[in-house]
């Protein structure tokens, strides 16, 4: 009987060890990551009335060319962030306004592209438009870093558009354009007019109301508070 119990206990231990080993294999981790990735959705499908101008798919950005891994002009985000964003847009619709989105999930490959660009100090072709008062090395850290919250899928860059009398939409005047790396882009900058500050606070307060936190240096940048701040994804946008 004792021998049988010993053998039974040993078999159970072996099974547990094998199970733990299986869970730790790269394939198992890949499966877990695949399951997690299914939580990402295309925001255009959920919020079709919003406007999407995915800048890094185009050359209309601070690098001056399309960014690596942006294979399609899509706004991919975690479903929790999208549902919250939809509530923001629904509120704006009541006032004949809507969200205009510039960037959402950002692959780590794209972040690496940004880093190569910022390290190339000879390329200053976009300086006048995007960083007129800073040298490239000063962009590192607060504006461009080796890791971006965008790569976790909960961060979005956006503004507000309003509908004009002819039915067209135009951006609210925020005092500085998207991706202007400058003190003027700080949410509470004293370099903009009271009306421009009011427009920024309209965006900020709506986003905070629906579960986002802001980044004070960039009036357009918000992260949903359910962000676990763990995985930095690197699947392409396509």
Per DSSP, the residues of 14-58 read HHHHHHHHHHHSHHHHHHHHHHHHTTEEEHHHH-TTSEE--GGGS
What confidence score (pLDDT) does residue 15 get?
33
Question: Among residues 91, 146, 161, 218, which one is catalytic?
Answer: 218
- The H or E element containing residue 199 is helix 194-209
Q: How far apart are CA 135 and CA 118, in angstroms?
A: 10
Whether residue 233 lies inside any domain: the answer is no
What confidence score (pLDDT) does residue 22 get?
31
Q: Could you report the per-residue pLDDT of 40-83, keeping only the tens digit for each?
A: 999 999 999 999 999 999 999 999 999 999 999 999 999 999 99
How many other C-beta atoms can be found within 10 angstroms of the C-beta atom of residue 72? 11
- Could you tell me which residues are beta bridge partners of residue 42? 76
Q: Could you report the per-residue pLDDT of 149-171, keeping only the tens digit for each?
A: 999 999 999 999 999 999 999 99
Question: Does residue 218 carry a catalytic annotation?
Answer: yes
Mean of per-residue pLDDT scores for the chain: 88
- Is the same domain home to 3 and 67? no
Number of domains into which the chain is organized: 2
Is residue 132 classed as helix, strand or coil in its secondary structure?
Answer: coil
Structure pTM? 0.85
- Is the same domain home to 52 and 98? yes
pLDDT at 25 over 90: no
Residue 6, sorted as left (phi over 0), alpha (psi -120 to 50) or beta, turns out to be alpha
| Lowest-confidence pick of 13-22, 140-149, 196-205 | 13-22
What confidence score (pLDDT) does residue 154 get?
97
- Is the same domain home to 33 and 69? no
Q: pLDDT band at residue 38, thresholds of 50, 70 and 90?
A: confident
Q: How far apart are CA 138 and CA 140, in angstroms?
A: 5
- Is the same domain home to 57 and 174? yes
Q: pLDDT band at residue 36, thresholds of 50, 70 and 90?
A: low
Q: How far apart are CA 57 and CA 52, in angstroms?
A: 11
């Amino acid at each position: 009987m004792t021998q049988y119990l010993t053998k039974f206990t040993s078999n159970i231990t072996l099974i547990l060890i094998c199970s733990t080993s299986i869970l730790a294999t790269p394939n198992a981790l890949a499966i877990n990551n695949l399951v997690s990735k299914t939580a990402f959705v295309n925001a255009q499908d959920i919020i079709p009335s919003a406007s999407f101008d995915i800048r890094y798919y185009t050359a209309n950005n601070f690098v001056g060319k399309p960014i690596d891994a942006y294979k399609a002009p899509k706004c991919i985000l975690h479903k929790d962030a999208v549902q919250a964003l939809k509530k923001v847009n629904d509120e704006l619709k009541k006032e004949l306004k809507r969200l205009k989105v510039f960037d959402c999930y950002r692959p780590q490959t794209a972040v690496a592209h940004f880093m190569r660009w910022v390290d190339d100090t000879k390329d200053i072709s976009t300086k006048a438009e995007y960083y007129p008062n800073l040298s490239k090395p000063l962009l590192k850290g607060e504006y461009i870093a080796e890791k971006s919250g965008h790569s976790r899928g909960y961060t979005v860059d956006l503004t507000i558009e309003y509908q004009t009398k002819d039915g067209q939409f135009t951006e609210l005047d925020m005092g500085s354009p998207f991706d202007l790396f400058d003190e003027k882009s700080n949410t509470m900058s004293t370099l903009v007019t009271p009306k421009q500050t009011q427009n920024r606070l309209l965006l900020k307060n709506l986003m905070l109301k629906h579960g986002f936190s802001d980044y004070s240096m960039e009036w357009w940048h918000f992260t949903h508070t359910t962000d676990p701040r763990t995985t930095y994804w690197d699947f392409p946008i396509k």
